[in-house]
Amino acid sequence: MFIGRDEELKTLRRAITAREARIAVVYGRRRIGKTSLIRQAVGRAPALFIEGLEGRSTQAQIQSFITQASRQLHKRLPECGSWQDALMALDAAMGKRPMIIVLDEFQWLANYRQELVSTLKMVWENYIARAPGRTLILCGSIASFMTTKVIRSSAFYGRTDVVVHLQGFRLAETARLLRGRGFQEVLDAQCFTGGVPKYLELLAAAPSVALGMEKEAFRPQGFFVEEYERIFVSHFGRNAEYPRLVRVLAAAPYGLHRRELAARADIAEGGMLSQRLYDLEAAGFISSHTPFDKEPGSRLIRYYISDPWISFHHAFLRTRLKQIHDGGKKNIFISLRQTGAFRAWMGRAFELVCLRHQDTLARLLGFDAVDYDAGPWFRSPRKGIAGVQIDLAYNRADGVITLCEMKRQTAPLGRAVIAEVERKAATLRNAHPRRTIQPVLVVYGPVSKEVTSAGYFQRIVQAEEMFG
């Protein structure tokens, strides 16, 4: 059953059904459902799906390209020694037939080089695209390659008609995939997986989300046990600096400034660090934020882990891998759920879910029609003044700053939260004395009558409301 992706499907189908030749680029991390999306969009239209081979030579890629094309076209293409010959042979074999050409895992086909990109552009424009009913779809799981070597390359710059950056499901789609599950399980699954469809399918097959995590993450043959290694090797090879940066960020849930990150990871604060951070951010493993009242190039930019599965691996799996592979201890996850470390991690994971749904929160709060910038707002401690971390702030064009505090807990939330938020609001008022500060509470769990009757929060949003 195909779920969600309505806007992405419409966009791809417009390209596929256009009278003129179109080029579409689809990219996103592994397991995110790129190929399923493309197949759904293509439907019964004539299409050629050719997939690259991970870690193989250029000649092996060309040979595989010829073999796959020959089988699907039911016509033997000649042996070729170059990409130009292979693409020209494909054009000849297709004749004048309308065709959607999907080059999947394009970064592997290209061997991360520019040669195929440049050659494909030339053959596409001068030969393949001249027949009616042709669409080219380039699909890849290495975002840094797809953005820099394809979308922004000199060959394809300004020539791509559609770009789809596919990301994880949001809560509403996760609920549809986990059909029949209660909101707590849906939210838990979102916190653990970030809405990655493949991961959700594994949890959906289990009697409960918790038992699914026990089986797939804490048993020797579980899918998640080696997933971190699979993802990192496919994205970054064996370069040790990438996992080192992620390990350092995993130990700082609310992130680090660039200088702090470089020092703790023991990496020079230069151009290569910028490239490493760009690659990690393009892959969706980390994110960066600058407070809305600072310029984008500000030294206050902060990097943090934004991929829930990467965060979960470092928090609970990495140090238990030997224990898991030994297979002696059972119910590791069930016991883990009772610990303070797990509850703290789930609190941060809930905040990341809220950040992902900031447009939904703006709609629930009634200002989605107003222009705004949104994201965390923070100040480092200085000269005896305590630092402050605001989970989510909306800097609105109507003169209001909406300060959102996100809480996930099982015990009723007491009045202490008001004092906590007011301290943050006071810092924000000092920084922006002409703006109205509007505190909002987003909560999963019970709220005491003391908090609701105090009238301090402009609105208390229950997490269930974000389903919309």
**In the prediction, which pLDDT does 92 show?**
97
Q: What is the CATH number of the domain that holds 220?
A: 1.10.10
Domain edge (last residue) among 351, 384, 414: 351
For residue 286, tell me if it sits in a domain.
yes
Q: Are residues 274 and 189 in the same domain?
A: yes
- Please tell me whether residues 97 and 229 are part of one structural domain: no
Q: Please state, in angstroms and rounded to a whole number, the distance separating the CA atoms of residues 232 and 243.
A: 8
One-letter amino acid at 51 equals: E
Structure tokens at 441: 């509470």
Distance between CA atoms of residues 65 and 80, nearest Å: 10
Those residues of the chain that have pLDDT short of 50 are none
Question: What is the DSSP secondary structure assignment for residue 121, as one 8-state letter?
Answer: H
CA distance 242 to 358: 29
pTM of the predicted model, to two decimals? 0.92
Q: Is residue 88 part of a domain?
A: yes
Residues 141, 16 share a domain: yes
Handedness of CA 314, 316, 319, 323 (dihedral sign): negative
Tell me, yes or no, whether 132 lies in a domain.
Answer: yes
Please tell me whether residues 234 and 328 are part of one structural domain. Answer: yes
- Residue 299 is predicted with a pLDDT of 85
Residues 323 and 399 grouped into a single domain? no
pLDDT at 34: 96
Residue 329: predicted pLDDT: 80
Q: Which of 327, 351, 375 is the last residue of a domain?
A: 351
For residues 98 and 189, state if they share a domain: no
The DSSP secondary structure of 401-434, one letter per residue, reads: EEEEEEEE-SSPB-THHHHHHHHHHHHHHHH-TT
Alpha carbon dihedral 210, 216, 219, 222, in 10-degree steps, equals: 180
Task: Give the 3-state secondary structure of residue 28.
Answer: coil
Q: 261 and 368 share a domain?
A: no
325 and 396 share a domain?
Answer: no
Amino acid at 102: V
Strand pairing report for 162-165 and 302-305: unpaired
* Residue 156's CATH number: 3.40.50.300
Is 288 in the same domain as 332? yes
DSSP state letter for 74: T
pLDDT of res. 158:
87
Write down the residue that tokens 């209660």 correspond to: 182
Among the candidates 136, 165, 194, a domain finishes at 165
pLDDT tens digits, 182-227? 999 999 999 999 999 999 999 999 999 999 999 999 999 999 999 9
Q: In terms of domains, do 199 and 331 share one?
A: yes
CATH code (residue 384): 3.40.1350
φ/ψ of residue 287, rounded to 5: -135, 165
Q: Can you give the residue range of the structural domain that contains 79? A: 6-165
Residues 150 and 278 in one domain: no
Number of domains in the chain: 3
Cα-atom radius of gyration of the chain, to the nearest Å?
A: 25
| 1 belongs to a structural domain | no
Task: Please tell me whether residues 109 and 221 are part of one structural domain.
Answer: no
